[in-house]
């Protein structure tokens, strides 16, 4: 499923998960263990972005920017 901008909702949801993991880690502190969920979420997001960007023929940076904006505004 895609949003009105043609972005997959799954990527927007992954970005929101990444954002939430960062907020959680910030609230707990700065140890490596506290940031582990964010690191894992970031890796999943980057892999998904790379796969989708390659599939539709756009740059990962362009896709990332659009998804990050959609995740903030929706």
pLDDT in tens, 9-68: 999 999 998 898 888 888 887 788 888 888 888 998 999 999 999 999 999 999 999 999
Closest CA to 64 of 24, 18, 21, 25: 18
How much is the pLDDT for 21? Answer: 84
In the predicted model, is pLDDT for residue 5 greater than 70? Answer: no
Q: How many residues belong to the chain?
A: 74
User: How far lies 34's CA from each of 18, 43, 73, 74, in Å?
Assistant: 14, 16, 27, 27
How much is the pLDDT for 4? Answer: 63
How much is the pLDDT for 73? Answer: 83
- Phi, psi dihedral angles at 16 (to 5 degrees): -65, -40
CA-to-CA distance for 18 and 24, rounded, in angstroms?
A: 10
pTM as predicted: 0.81
Listed in sequence order, the residues at least 6 apart from 4 whose beta carbon sits closer than 8 Å to its beta carbon are none
């Amino acid at each position: 499923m895609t949003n009105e901008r043609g972005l997959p909702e799954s990527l927007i949801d992954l970005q929101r998960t990444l954002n939430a993991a960062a907020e959680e880690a910030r609230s707990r502190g700065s140890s490596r263990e506290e940031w582990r969920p964010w690191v894992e979420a970031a890796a999943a997001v980057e892999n998904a972005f790379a796969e989708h960007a390659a599939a539709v023929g756009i740059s990962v940076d362009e896709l990332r920017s659009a998804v990050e904006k959609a995740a903030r505004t929706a």
